[in-house]
Amino acid sequence: MPAQSLFTPAPPGYEPVAARILTDIEPLPCDLYIWRGPRPVLYAMQGGDLRKVIARAQRGMSFLVREVDFDLLRGALAASLPRVMANGRMTPIERSKTAYSIVAKILVPIFSRENPLDHDSLLLTHKAIDGITAHLLLDEEMIWAMLATMQKHIATHTHAINTAVYGAVLAKFMQLGSPDAIRDVARGGLLHDIGKNRVPKVVLDKPAALDAAEWQIMRSHVKAGHDMIVRALGFPPSYVHIVGEHHERCDGSGYPAGRTASGIAIDAQLVGIVDAFDALTSRRPYRSPVTAFDALHLMRVAMRGQFSDEIVREFIKLLGGLNAITAGLEGAGDLVGVMRVAG
Ligand SMILES: [Fe+2]
């Protein structure tokens, strides 16, 4: 069977999917095709044993899935995440990279501005991030692997995933509350900027300072996100205040309400901190990332008063620990920026 490049463009009506993210799906929820120009050819049938399919797939191979089947596949991918996170046949770094790829595959269409956030999509986001969070509560090694393999080229979904993972890990590190409370930090972190779908691209991607009117539009993403989630679910979930408060700042300089520290929930303060940190340390089309050290320095000095000193201190301790531990993780050598925190 010829190898398929991951970058083969999909024909109309099909979406590509990399074989490596299907590893822990069982059984196959839909037909898989391969590109054998001039048309896709059936490779494996719905209900089949995916282990056999994967075993004969070549490294780097990708399949095609009919667009009408993609929701089925995304549901199966989300259900497979707990097995991926615990898969002893892969190294922690491989598991982490696979989990990130799966969450990205699930989130990209949900986070696109073309699709309104509906009930099923919202529940799928919960399922995806919960599968990761539950495992992170139990497996210290996977925490370090996930921090070490975070994607730092910012896109809406990567920033969402990073904020959720940093948030859950920091909440666990600080013993912020029960597993449910930590799950809520992850869900709130994942969805904190979902309202940016409602901000026009010319404002969102403007590579220069926003004027007063544009700022007002940008700030509307907080209420828009809160309302989208409540509308999709039919009631306000226990994490929705995180979405509504993630731009409030301890000194009252934030928005939308300009609350001060005592009026901002601790978990929302925590998400506000990891959100700012990930934004500063990620590459954007119009600016280079700053190092983790510089980001934390900015947050403690130039932004003094905006963030809880105590939570920032705990975050520094957490990232400092990463420096020592990732040195021993195979494949984790590309995260010098984060490791410099302790340097
Ligand atoms: Fe935001």
Tens-of-pLDDT digits for all 343 residues of the chain? 444 444 456 888 999 999 989 989 988 999 999 988 788 999 999 998 888 888 777 778 889 999 999 999 999 999 999 999 999 999 999 999 999 999 999 999 898 888 889 999 999 999 999 999 999 999 999 999 999 999 888 788 999 999 999 999 999 999 999 999 999 999 999 999 999 999 998 998 888 889 999 999 999 999 999 999 999 999 999 999 999 999 999 999 999 999 999 999 999 999 999 999 999 999 877 778 888 889 999 999 999 999 999 999 999 999 887 766 666 554 444 443 443 332 2
Residues 214 and 98 grouped into a single domain: yes
| 248 CA to centre of ligand 1 in angstroms | 10
| 275 CA to centre of ligand 1 in angstroms | 8
Asked if the peptide bond before residue 27 counts as cis, ω within 30 degrees of 0, the response is: yes
| 329 CA to centre of ligand 1 in angstroms | 32
| 221 CA to centre of ligand 1 in angstroms | 7
Check residue 325 and give its pLDDT.
64
Check residue 334 and give its pLDDT.
40
Is residue 221 in a domain?
yes
Check residue 26 and give its pLDDT.
84
How many folded domains does the chain comprise?
2
Asked if residues 22 and 50 have their Cβ atoms less than 8 Å apart, the reply is yes
| 189 CA to centre of ligand 1 in angstroms | 10
> Where do the H-state alpha helices sit in the chain?
50-56, 70-85, 92-111, 119-136, 140-148, 156-173, 179-191, 201-204, 212-219, 221-233, 240-245, 266-281, 292-300, 309-326, 336-339
Residues 3 and 101 grouped into a single domain: no
Check residue 118 and give its pLDDT.
95
Q: Which of 32, 66, 100 is the last residue of a domain?
A: 66
Is residue 76 in a domain?
no
Q: Which residues neighbour ligand 1 (ion) by CB within 5 Å? A: 193
| 243 CA to centre of ligand 1 in angstroms | 8
Check residue 206 and give its pLDDT.
86
| 192 CA to centre of ligand 1 in angstroms | 6
| 340 CA to centre of ligand 1 in angstroms | 26
| 222 CA to centre of ligand 1 in angstroms | 6
Pairing state between β 39-44 and 62-66: unpaired
Check residue 308 and give its pLDDT.
97
The pTM assigned to this predicted structure is 0.89
> Tokens 């920032």, residue?
312
Asked if residues 115 and 121 have their Cβ atoms less than 8 Å apart, the reply is yes
| 4 CA to centre of ligand 1 in angstroms | 38
Check residue 103 and give its pLDDT.
96
Check residue 326 and give its pLDDT.
60
Residue 1: domain span: 1-66
| 111 CA to centre of ligand 1 in angstroms | 14
| 206 CA to centre of ligand 1 in angstroms | 15
Check residue 218 and give its pLDDT.
95
| 272 CA to centre of ligand 1 in angstroms | 8
Is residue 81 in a domain?
no
| 214 CA to centre of ligand 1 in angstroms | 14
Residues 57 and 186 grouped into a single domain: no
Residues 57 and 95 grouped into a single domain: no
Residues 46 and 155 grouped into a single domain: no
Is residue 80 in a domain?
no
Check residue 337 and give its pLDDT.
43
